Structure 1
Amino acid sequence: MNFRILAAAAAALILGACMPNTATGPDDGPASPTTVPGTQAACETGGGIWRAEGRLGLMTCVMPHADAGQPCTDSDQCAGDCRLGDDKRPAEGEPVTGICQANTSNFGCFTRVEDGRAAATLCVD
């Protein structure tokens, strides 16, 4: 088997495990999980963007989260992660308030917020 095919298959399995779970919103009960379609047609019909993601450039659907941009202090309050804005890099453990992740993409640099505190900044490519 070709190494690129094997690497792409492994990356797809790993990325599939990173998809968000159902979470509860801060004030309005459970946030809806974001369903990520597996085909370009279903993605675009559902309001997503079909694009290459990550260093491997795997084509995937990036769907917006319904609670994008809402204030949060923990990822349990969001359909995706609770994150700080791109320009904020506080010390790990510093008390902070974040915003709910905009979409299902898990690539780029970001700082998650858990229990009202900044976690380590992570860059995923």
Structure 2
Amino acid sequence: MIRSHDLLRALGASLLLALAACSAPEARDEPSPDAAPAAGGADSEAACLADGGTWAQHGRLAVMSCARPTADAGRMCRDGSDCETACIAPEGVEDGTPTAGTCHASDKLFGCHTRVTDGVAGPSLCID
């Protein structure tokens, strides 16, 4: 028979494991050795800034990389093929709703976005 204090101990251990799994990794000043090079060949802060990019930590791993602006940022679109990076629906548009979007402002898509494909909003997708 399971005693109540054994059950509480198991429940507490499970709760601690769940909380530990939700914690964010520590921010890094340098990219990890196995991190992929930044897009567009801008693999250093100097090259990034020379290209008009922003050098910052990106993604859940907080890897330093270059976010370059797109030439079509903010332009109206109906599909990702209309844009350098992606066609993003206006905030609050439901999945399956016919809509126009705007071209994403950066070559990085971190965060939560709703993409537009063939003039229809898709499901929201969050990229870490």
Instruction: Verify same fold: TM over 0.5.
Output: yes
Tell me the TM-score normalized by structure 2: 0.69
Contact residue 36 and residue 62 of structure 1 kept, 8 A = no
Judge conservation of contact 1:97–1:113 (CA < 8 Å) in 2: yes
Inter-CA distance 118–9: structure 2 relative to 1 (3 Å threshold)? farther
Alignment of 1:120 onto 2:117: no
TM-score, reference length from structure 1: 0.70
CA shift, 1:51, in A, is 0.3
Does 1:102 pair with 2:96?
Answer: no
1:83 paired to 2:101: no
Consecutive unaligned residues in structure 1, runs of 5 or more: 20-34
Which has the greater radius of gyration? 2
In structure 2, the partner of 1:32 is none
CA RMSD of aligned residues (A): 2.1
Any idea what the Cα deviations from partners look like across 1:45-75, whole Å, max 9, x if unmatched? Answer: 1110100001111000000000000000000
The structure that is helix-richer by fraction is 2
Q: Residue 77 and residue 51 in structure 1: after superposition, are their counterparts in 2 closer, same or farther (change >3 A)?
A: same
Query: Residue 71 of structure 1 aligns with which residue?
Result: 76
Query: Percent identity between the aligned chains?
Result: 39
Aligned residue pair count: 98
Unaligned runs of 5+ in 2: 1-25, 27-31
By relative contact order (CA 8 Å, sep 6+), the higher-ranking structure is 1
Instruction: Give distance in 2, aligned partners of 1:9 and 1:93.
Output: 41
